Structure 1
Amino acid sequence: MKNTISSRVADFLKNYPPFNEMKFEDLERLSEEVSILYKIKESVIFEQGEAPHSHFYVVHKGAAVLRKKPDNDIVDLCDEGDIFGLRPLIANENYEMEARAYEESIFYTIPITTFRPYTQKYSEIGNFLIESFASNMRNPYARSHKDKLLAHTSIGNSNTNSGLLDLQSVHYSKKLIACGENSSIKTIAATMTEKKVGAMLIVKGKLPIGIITDKDIRNKVATGQFPITAKAKEIMSAPVITYPVKMTITQAQMAMMKSGISHLCLTEDGTDNTKALGILSKHDIMLELGNNPGVLMKAIKRAGKFKKIKTIRRSVQNLLKGYLDQNIPLTLTSKIIAELNDACVKQVIAIALKKIKKEPPVKFTWMALGSQGRSEQLLHTDQDNALIFEDVPKHQQEKVKTYFLELSKMVTKGLMHIGYAYCPADMMASNPEWCLSLSEWKNRISHWITNPGPDEVLLSSIFFDYNLVYGTPKLLNELTGHIFTMTEKYPIFFMHLAQGALQNPSPTGFFRQFLVEEDGAHKDFFDVKRRALMPLIDAGRLLALSHQIKAINNTSERFEKLAELEPNNGELFMACSYATKALLKFRTKQGLLHNDSGRFIALDSLSKEEKIKLKRTFKTIKELQELIKIRFKLSNL
């Protein structure tokens, strides 16, 4: 009798290198020896320094994170189809890093003794291993050789644009913070704190003679070696190391590494005989590279103008592109980008509050709606937001609302300035209809739920994907409780919401052909948002509401929670989670490639492999819509 488990394993492995080079009968024989390993989130697969196991690993579902001690830096994240733990077996050495399940995951374990003969039988597999060892990559056949497995490099430190960095000039602040050699340490420390800088240049007749960094103050003053009343010349590092202002990022990095310093003094000719023009810090260089989320987060929080945030958002997009190029799992990528996007919005609100020069009259909550509310807004798209403010007596209502509308208009204008276009349907807090008190919002939602016409269903679909960005969580929690109370009282609303979830047409027609737009500006293009992503998003929202799932707005995470709540449908819901991530990743890549929203795709530009991957998700969508039809009894409407 045929072993169905090994057949399933073989069917999976045949899609990934180097197994795709094997004859299927050999792959089936190999698969008979494969074991299945289930790991919960954060559980250890192997430890750093541990002797190699008798098998290596392939990710079937989920992901594995590889970290290197002592800093515990993330070296790599292995996604579906990726191999890890093989190199130590071939090289006969201990594991150089730790492997853990990044999320609840299933792995295939393949015995090295069973696999080794095939490396000799198939020259392509031997070449794969040789090239992966030589190039230090998990998959040397991956597009553009981006998927690196660097033993000593954490994510984001490898730069895919090193050639550009050799030509790219550094940017530095022209507002030089400097003082004389007789200034007291106390004064210098106070100025550095006020100006939010990590170093003070010491000048004499406008020429640089030394530098004091926060490290100098810690090591020389905080330790008691010098009193806080000491003069700058007593603790400054001198002579100061100087460089010309016209230097590249690569040159600046090399200069800092060579001298073991974190700040460079930039002068007119690169010597200390000409006027100092600025200081360049390691932080400035990291910000230029734009590949460190921690640095970007700090830069966002320091930004005092919308223009500065707009510049940082371009770096966030570069970070996104780098993560996609490196094949970092979308779960991690989405969370990082969402955190950075939310931080940008928070800072815009903080700047607007300063500009308005009046304290908010009552507590309020700023909500992100739609794709940003789901933490799925990876590309620069339009804004959807709303504001809730505390209830006030009727005679104060107009005055309070006027304040929040003024604030909202300032915020939405700021968001437009940093790259979020205005919502074409005006679903923004600057619209009086989307800037309401808590009671007004409760009444609005009650109307949507008790009078579920097409417009009400559409509005609730957008609104119910909300996320707290700024303000007090209490108002949002009260609103969430009201939504669940109302939907429980009026379950017929779910039937209307389900009908709305099925409005988006099927992705394919006869013979599984892609259904494309028949007319308009995007004639013959495939609408990946409307035909593929929206059916999953709408269904995930509907099912999450029906289960009263709180605080989970992301579509893939909603399906993962549903799989936990409904084990009998677990396989389908997990497939929906993976399909959502795959489609979102595909759309994002297309958007970055064509510098647009990635929504409309020219099918003739896709490879056969890309079309196959898209069609795999369509089967999942069809099964999900069938479940919704049955569960919510749509035939009775």
Structure 2
Amino acid sequence: MNQIQQRVSSFIKGFPPFDLLPSEALSAVAKSADVYYCQNGDVLFREGQSPLPYFFVTRKGSVRIASNDLLIDMCDEGDVFGVRALLANDTYLADAIAEENTILYKIPLNTFKKILAEYPAVANYFASGFASGKSLPQTPFRMLSAAPAPTNFMSGMQVIEGRREVLACVADTTIKSAATMMSERGVGSIVVLNAQGFPIGIITDKDFRKKIATGINDIHQSVSAIMSSPVICVAGGGTQTDYLIDMLTKRVHHLCVTENGTQESKVVGMITEHDLLLLQGTNPAVILREMDRENDYSRLKELRRNASSLFRQHINQNLPVSATCRIATAINDRLIGRVVEKVVKELGSPPCPFAWLALGSLGREEQILLTDQDHALVFSQGDHQTYFLQLATMVSDQLESMGFPRDPADVSAENPKWCMSLEQWKSQFSKWMTTPEPSAILHCNIFFDFRKVYGDSFLTDSLREHIFHTQSDKALFTALLAKEAVETPAPLSFFRNLVVERTGENKDQFDLKLRVLLPLVDCARVLAITQGVAATQTIKRYEMLKQHFPERKSLFDSAMEATAYAIGLKAKSGFTNSDNGRFIAPEALSKLDRQMLRNIFETISEMQQMLKLSFQTDTLR
């Protein structure tokens, strides 16, 4: 390459999608590129014009992309534009005009067609609408990375089909016959099937030890006398981590793989804990298992610290955010549960049933970082607040020692306002929804995301049922909740500058929580409440809402992907800066992050517009 070509290669390799290419492919692009100089006001192409045989990369300066005087984008250093028309073999959808004296690289389509064919990640980049111009509608927000993740972290994401021959029998088979079959096959379990071939029970070596060796049952009885039922069933094709988490959260060692993942279909395989642990020696499941066995607070703290290291590596390697959230939720829930169990043992038996409620990001199953404690407590009846306040204080002390700071706003179970009986909680929610003052709307946004982490599910189920029943005839309340959700409109693009904080300790930083995550979370919450969707996780809410609004499937898909990307970006920022990840310095954002956020802003704008129309929020004062 000559000196100019070397400069082109050196420049473009720092920006997506060229950063996904190996050196030889970069050289091919650089050799084919032309350097183009244009002055302020020069027109590069017009809306409706047939595509040129090349697209543009901005080297220096800026180019205005607009349609009918509506600004769509401002392309500056590293931005790619003019691609959509070439790939779609269609006319341009906007004008491209130099905003100042600008240097551009023109990349011939013929050269780049070869690149698209040989490097799928680059093709995905363009197909996803990341290149500037007029974005493709509802484009997915893929996490693109040129570097593969190390094997030891990817192995937990290995897909397990679980399809293999399964030893099975019918319900009237004798225990002796089943034991003989297991011994001959050298396996540790046998599945019991009904007449349709559907699983109705399972017998393992453990059942023989507990029920036969002890003399509780006789070997001439039928297997139905000792089988465990119902069988925990899954669909094949999940990851190793998915299945290990299933086993630990459901406290089983075998998962029955069926055709559709339920007990109402035929068995196609079996997944055992032993099989999975043979595939990988270290796994989040090991942390969960150790937490189950551990009784020392300091050791629990160490295990949570190990989990943080694992989450950091998952995020840095761009592993699926949804999987990382699921693992983090399982570990955080288990940690809190173990702490509550230990404190209960120290205090003595509780005077009545209770439930520990997670709020905020943990309530939504989105807490990857060690962020503020947000929790509440509900107990079944009576005047037992004193006991539970003491329990909450002791639990909060331990969680704080393990790295979870207390909430500065005192949203905590150790606050008497948020440690109440079931009837008191029902009364409180009714009051908020019946007289929806600004403080009531604020509290609803906090407490509607509650999720039981430990304790009696009946209490939380009853409370949620009460909320859904009460809000059903409170049109003003839901409209005000929607109005709050659209109060912070997202900027439609970064253009040249981010919308940053103007004052305070976070001056000149971008508020990722306020500008991105909260609008996505708030919109999902409003729709979930009005449609009776019990899920608290934002992504799950959007997934379930597609059933209620099938015409909005594309928008909700984008909202799901936007939420996952924003959670991952916040976690990455938090791990990098050893903080909660909320504020990001603009210069720390890569070009890809900016392009992703630009698309996310469009999704947020569409979600908020949907709420404005559905709830007529512009009529509220």
Is the Cα–Cα contact under 8 Å of residues 355 and 378 in structure 2 kept in the other structure?
A: yes
Q: 1:623 aligns with which of 599, 606, 616?
A: 606
Aligned mates of 1:489, 1:545 — CA distance in 2: 12
In structure 2, do the counterparts of structure 1 residues 612 and 401 end up closer, same or farther at CA, with 3 Å as the change threshold?
Answer: same
**3-state DSSP of counterpart to 1:489:** coil
Superposed, which structure 2 residues align to 1:275-294 within 5 Å?
A: 291-294=282-285
Match of 1:322 in 2: 313
Match of 2:377 in 1: 387
Structure 2: gaps spanning 5 or more residues: 1-15, 30-50, 52-109, 123-141, 159-208, 214-276
Aligned mates of 1:128, 1:462 — CA distance in 2: 40
Is the Cα–Cα contact under 8 Å of residues 516 and 566 in structure 2 kept in the other structure?
A: yes
Aligned mates of 1:518, 1:497 — CA distance in 2: 27
Superposed, which structure 2 residues align to 1:106-505 within 5 Å?
A: 125=118, 142=145, 145-148=147-150, 154-155=155-156, 291-356=282-347, 358-392=348-382, 397=383, 400-505=384-489
In structure 2, do the counterparts of structure 1 residues 570 and 153 end up closer, same or farther at CA, with 3 Å as the change threshold?
Answer: closer
Superposed, which structure 2 residues align to 1:47-62 within 5 Å?
A: none
Q: Spell out, residue by residue over 1:479-533, the C-alpha distance to the aligned partner (whole angstroms, 9 max, x if none).
A: 0011011100212111110111122242457857421101111111000001111
Superposed, which structure 2 residues align to 1:544-623 within 5 Å?
A: 544-550=528-534, 552-623=535-606
Aligned mates of 2:500, 2:121 — CA distance in 1: 38
Amino acid at match of 1:453: E
% identical equivalent positions: 35
**Equivalenced residues, count:** 387
Aligned mates of 1:127, 1:382 — CA distance in 2: 41
In structure 2, do the counterparts of structure 1 residues 153 and 391 end up closer, same or farther at CA, with 3 Å as the change threshold?
Answer: closer
Aligned mates of 1:580, 1:148 — CA distance in 2: 25
Match of 1:529 in 2: 513
Is the Cα–Cα contact under 8 Å of residues 508 and 618 in structure 1 kept in the other structure?
A: yes
- How far the C-alpha of 1:125 sits from its partner, in A, is 4.1
Is the Cα–Cα contact under 8 Å of residues 336 and 453 in structure 2 kept in the other structure?
A: yes
In structure 2, do the counterparts of structure 1 residues 429 and 15 end up closer, same or farther at CA, with 3 Å as the change threshold?
Answer: farther
Is the Cα–Cα contact under 8 Å of residues 408 and 429 in structure 1 kept in the other structure?
A: yes
- How far the C-alpha of 1:555 sits from its partner, in A, is 0.5
Is the Cα–Cα contact under 8 Å of residues 20 and 145 in structure 2 kept in the other structure?
A: no
- How far the C-alpha of 1:118 sits from its partner, in A, is 9.2
**3-state DSSP of counterpart to 1:532:** helix
In structure 2, do the counterparts of structure 1 residues 421 and 311 end up closer, same or farther at CA, with 3 Å as the change threshold?
Answer: same
User: What value does the CA root-mean-square deviation take over the aligned residues?
Assistant: 3.5
- How far the C-alpha of 1:560 sits from its partner, in A, is 1.4
**3-state DSSP of counterpart to 1:427:** coil
- How far the C-alpha of 1:613 sits from its partner, in A, is 1.5
Aligned mates of 2:115, 2:583 — CA distance in 1: 41
Aligned mates of 1:15, 1:375 — CA distance in 2: 35
Amino acid at match of 1:389: F
**3-state DSSP of counterpart to 1:155:** helix
Aligned mates of 2:342, 2:295 — CA distance in 1: 7
- How far the C-alpha of 1:339 sits from its partner, in A, is 0.5
Q: Spell out, residue by residue over 1:597-626, the C-alpha distance to the aligned partner (whole angstroms, 9 max, x if none).
A: 111111012222221112111110111111
In structure 2, do the counterparts of structure 1 residues 122 and 477 end up closer, same or farther at CA, with 3 Å as the change threshold?
Answer: closer
In structure 2, do the counterparts of structure 1 residues 630 and 126 end up closer, same or farther at CA, with 3 Å as the change threshold?
Answer: closer
- How far the C-alpha of 1:581 sits from its partner, in A, is 0.3
Is the Cα–Cα contact under 8 Å of residues 489 and 605 in structure 2 kept in the other structure?
A: no
Aligned mates of 1:590, 1:348 — CA distance in 2: 29
Match of 1:277 in 2: none
**3-state DSSP of counterpart to 1:359:** coil
- How far the C-alpha of 1:372 sits from its partner, in A, is 0.4
In structure 2, do the counterparts of structure 1 residues 126 and 481 end up closer, same or farther at CA, with 3 Å as the change threshold?
Answer: closer
Is the Cα–Cα contact under 8 Å of residues 305 and 351 in structure 1 kept in the other structure?
A: no
Q: Spell out, residue by residue over 1:198-224, the C-alpha distance to the aligned partner (whole angstroms, 9 max, x if none).
A: xxxxxxxxxxxxxxxxxxxx9xxx9xx
Aligned mates of 2:120, 2:453 — CA distance in 1: 50
**3-state DSSP of counterpart to 2:301:** helix
Match of 1:183 in 2: none
Aligned mates of 2:112, 2:496 — CA distance in 1: 37
Aligned mates of 1:118, 1:343 — CA distance in 2: 54
Amino acid at match of 1:523: K
**3-state DSSP of counterpart to 1:386:** strand
Is the Cα–Cα contact under 8 Å of residues 156 and 292 in structure 1 kept in the other structure?
A: no
Aligned mates of 2:282, 2:497 — CA distance in 1: 40
Amino acid at match of 1:373: G
**3-state DSSP of counterpart to 2:349:** coil
Amino acid at match of 2:564: K
Q: Spell out, residue by residue over 1:289-317, the C-alpha distance to the aligned partner (whole angstroms, 9 max, x if none).
A: 99511110011112213221111111111
Is the Cα–Cα contact under 8 Å of residues 320 and 333 in structure 1 kept in the other structure?
A: yes
Is the Cα–Cα contact under 8 Å of residues 370 and 384 in structure 1 kept in the other structure?
A: yes
- How far the C-alpha of 1:327 sits from its partner, in A, is 2.2
- How far the C-alpha of 1:591 sits from its partner, in A, is 0.7
Aligned mates of 2:452, 2:567 — CA distance in 1: 22
Amino acid at match of 1:331: S
- How far the C-alpha of 1:156 sits from its partner, in A, is 7.9
Match of 1:214 in 2: none
Match of 2:258 in 1: none
Q: Spell out, residue by residue over 1:329-387, the C-alpha distance to the aligned partner (whole angstroms, 9 max, x if none).
A: 1111110111001111001101111111x211111111001110000111011101111
Aligned mates of 1:592, 1:507 — CA distance in 2: 26
Is the Cα–Cα contact under 8 Å of residues 492 and 602 in structure 2 kept in the other structure?
A: no
Q: Spell out, residue by residue over 1:49-96, the C-alpha distance to the aligned partner (whole angstroms, 9 max, x if none).
A: xxxxxxxxxxxxxxxxxxxxxxxxxxxxxxxxxxxxxxxxxxxxxxxx
Aligned mates of 2:554, 2:540 — CA distance in 1: 14
Superposed, which structure 2 residues align to 1:48-127 within 5 Å?
A: 125=118
- How far the C-alpha of 1:15 sits from its partner, in A, is 8.6
- How far the C-alpha of 1:149 sits from its partner, in A, is 6.7
Is the Cα–Cα contact under 8 Å of residues 146 and 325 in structure 1 kept in the other structure?
A: no
In structure 2, do the counterparts of structure 1 residues 148 and 475 end up closer, same or farther at CA, with 3 Å as the change threshold?
Answer: same
**3-state DSSP of counterpart to 2:156:** coil
Amino acid at match of 1:489: D
Q: 1:632 aligns with which of 605, 612, 615?
A: 615
Structure 1: gaps spanning 5 or more residues: 1-12, 29-116, 130-138, 158-217, 223-285
Aligned mates of 1:562, 1:419 — CA distance in 2: 35
In structure 2, do the counterparts of structure 1 residues 454 and 153 end up closer, same or farther at CA, with 3 Å as the change threshold?
Answer: closer
Aligned mates of 2:321, 2:120 — CA distance in 1: 29
Aligned mates of 2:607, 2:531 — CA distance in 1: 16
- How far the C-alpha of 1:628 sits from its partner, in A, is 0.6
